[in-house]
Amino acid sequence: MFSYPVYIVVPSFNEQIEVVSHTITELLNFNPDYKIILVDDGSDKDLRAGLRELNVTVLRHKVNLGQGAALQTAADYLLRLEQELIAVHFDADGQHDVRSIPALIEPLQSDKADIALGSRFLDGSTTLELPVFRKNLLKVARLINGLLTGLWLTDAHNGFRALNRKALQKIRLTQNGFAHATELISLVKKKRLRYCEVPVSIRYTSYSLQKGQRATGAIDILLDLFIKKLIR
Amino acid sequence: MIIIAKFILLSLLLIAFLFYLLKVRSKRLDRLLFIVFFLTGFLFIIYPDVTNSIAHAIGISRGADLIFYLAIIFFFFVFILLYSMNKELEKKLTDLVRKDAIENVNS
């Protein structure tokens, strides 16, 4: 079993600098060998100023493009490194639990999968109870995602993932907005990547819950993807 | 008999159009289609009775109705066109911002 270098990709748009700083510190405290790639997606305040003492690589979009674009920029950057590696998608707001990372990357370290998808619903490891509205919304999202991508996952919209180099190469995200999650999954199927779901722990703090995801986001995703089918 | 003929003709036209939208599209063909639409519109203005003849031939009662249906198809086409152009612009913007981000990493 080979140990590949682990890069933690943290996309961020207008998160409070203290929150981002705390997330990065927590990651480095958990494992100092993790290399942090922060993608500042055109935040109003340039994050680089507040992160100078921390050991983190920052890629900054001069304008906001969307989370999908941020992840793809990090992927392009990492692919320039001539080595086999593991990239972990990790939220900046502290929702993702660092302690879930080892389990998430294990299938990649042992070369059993190309991409590991985190799931909140595999073994009930999510600590806080999800509000009912959110739960039902996720059920609908799961159905739509399953129908659109042909891949039936237990957690359709989980941003906690790990990819190896092959997955990074094969998955080119063209959807800049929230539809990138669905595009990613459909590419996993299309490019025949070996995938697996791994239980991860998500912490819902009052800070992250009030952010949430717009219910209309689902409509944007559908619109984007359906119209895309009409264009070439 | 006319009803069947109308049905077949319309179906063929619709399939051809959809096929074009989904598979064959190209910038040149788009422009050609656009010009064809405009010339047709021009023709209909100069010879409004033509619309009636064509309409009757395919089983629609009035030329005005025909123009209405054609207009709907035209707007749908324009929407797809505009959406594509927007997507292309978005891609250029993304590529530019991404290139700049990677070139200026950490600085």
Q: State the pLDDT at residue A230.
A: 60
What is the rounded distance in angstroms from the CA atom of residue B42 to the CA atom of residue B71? 13
For residue A59, list its beta bridge partners.
A39
Number of Cα atoms under 13 Å in the Cβ half of residue A191: 19
Which of A35, A47, A59 is most worth mutating to test chain B (most B CB atoms within 10 A of its CB)?
Answer: A59
Does B84 contact chain A (CB < 8 Å)? yes
Residue A147's Cβ-count burial label (10 Å; 0-12, 13-18, 19+) is: exposed
Q: Point out the residue among A60, A72, A176 whose CB comes nearest to the CB of B90.
A: A176
Q: Is the Cβ pair A62, B80 closer than 8 Å? A: no
Identify the residue whose tokens are 């359709």: A156
- pLDDT > 70: what percent of chain A? 84
* pLDDT value of position A215: 46
b (16+ CB within 10 A) / e for B7-32 = eeeeeeeeeeeeeeeeeebeeeebee
Q: Is the pLDDT of residue A127 over 60?
A: no
Average pLDDT over residues A188-202: 93
Cβ of B101 and A227 within 8 Å? no
Check residue A114 and give its pLDDT: 96
Going across the sheet that includes A86-89, the strands are A56-61, A35-41, A6-12, A86-89, A161-164, A115-119, A195-199
Q: What is the DSSP letter of A169?
A: H
Would you say residue A231 has pLDDT above 70?
A: no
Percentage of chain B modeled with pLDDT above 90:
16
> What does the alpha-carbon distance between residue A95 and residue A18 come to, in Å, rounded to a whole number?
14
8-state DSSP, B22: I
Kindly determine whether residue B22 and residue A48, on different chains, have CB atoms separated by under 8 Å.
no
* Chain A: residue whose CA lies nearest to B106: A58
Indicate the pairing of strand A56-61 with strand A115-119.
unpaired
Selected for mutation to probe chain A from B85, B91, B98 (highest A CB count within 10 Å) is B98
- Could you give the CA distance from residue A95 to residue A24 in angstroms, rounded to a whole number? 12
Q: Chain B 24-53, CB below 8 Å of chain A: which residues?
A: 25
Q: CA geometry: angle at B84 spanning B80 and B87, to 5°?
A: 140
For the stretch A33-79, pLDDT in tens is 999 999 999 999 888 888 888 889 999 999 999 999 999 999 999 99
The residue behind tokens 């340039």 is A46
Q: Which of A117-126, B6-15, B84-93 has the highest average model confidence (pLDDT)?
A: B84-93
Q: How large is the ipTM? A: 0.85
Chain B residues whose beta carbon lies within 8 Å of the beta carbon of residue A39:
101
Query: Can you tell me whether residue A200 is helix, strand or coil?
Result: coil
Provide the pLDDT for residue A46: 85
Distance from CA of B2 to the nearest CA of A (A): 32
pLDDT of residue A227: 66
Tell me how far apart the 2 most distant CA atoms of chain B are, in Å.
75
Q: Is B101 on the interface with A (CB under 8 A)?
A: yes
Contacts of B77 (CB under 8 A, 6+ apart): B33, B37
When pLDDT is cut at 50, 70 and 90, the band that residue A23 belongs to is very high
Higher-pLDDT residue of B5, A67: A67
Select from A73, A230, A232 the Cβ nearest to the Cβ of B98: A73
Greater model confidence, B46 or B19 = B46
pLDDT at residue B106 in the model: 83
Q: Which residues of chain B make contact with A71, given a CB cutoff of 8 A?
A: none
B25, B105, B106: residue with CB nearest A232: B25
Give yes or no for residue A125 having a pLDDT over 80. no
CA B66 to chain CA centroid, nearest Å: 16
Q: What is the distance in angstroms between the Cα of A72 and the nearest Cα belonging to chain B?
A: 9
Check if B91 contacts A (Cβ < 8 Å): yes
Share of chain A above pLDDT 90, in %: 56
Range name among A77-91, A119-133, B14-28, B87-101 with the lowest pLDDT average? A119-133
For chain A, what percentages of helix, strand and coil (3-state, to nearest 5) are there?
45, 15, 40
Amino acid occupying residue B31: R
Q: What is the pLDDT of residue B74?
A: 84
Cβ contacts (< 8 Å) between B86 and chain A: which residues? none
* Per-residue confidence (pLDDT) for residue A74, from 0 to 100: 97
Distance CA B93, CA A43 (A): 17
The count of other CB atoms within 10 Å of the CB of residue A13 is: 18
**Range from A19-28, A35-44, A177-186, B88-97 carrying the lowest mean pLDDT:** A177-186
- CA B19-B23-B26 angle, to 5 degrees, is 110
Partner residue facing B97 (CB), from A57, A61, A229: A61
Of A57, A69, A73, the CB nearest to B106: A57
Q: State chain A's mean pLDDT as an integer.
A: 86
pTM of the model: 0.82
The pLDDT of residue B15: 76
Task: With CA atoms as reference, report the closest residue to B6 among B38, B76, B54.
Answer: B54
pLDDT in tens, B49-97: 888 888 877 777 788 888 888 888 888 888 878 888 888 899 999 999 9
Task: Tell me if chain A has a CB within 8 Å of the CB of B99.
Answer: no
How do beta strands A161-164 and A6-12 pair?
Answer: unpaired
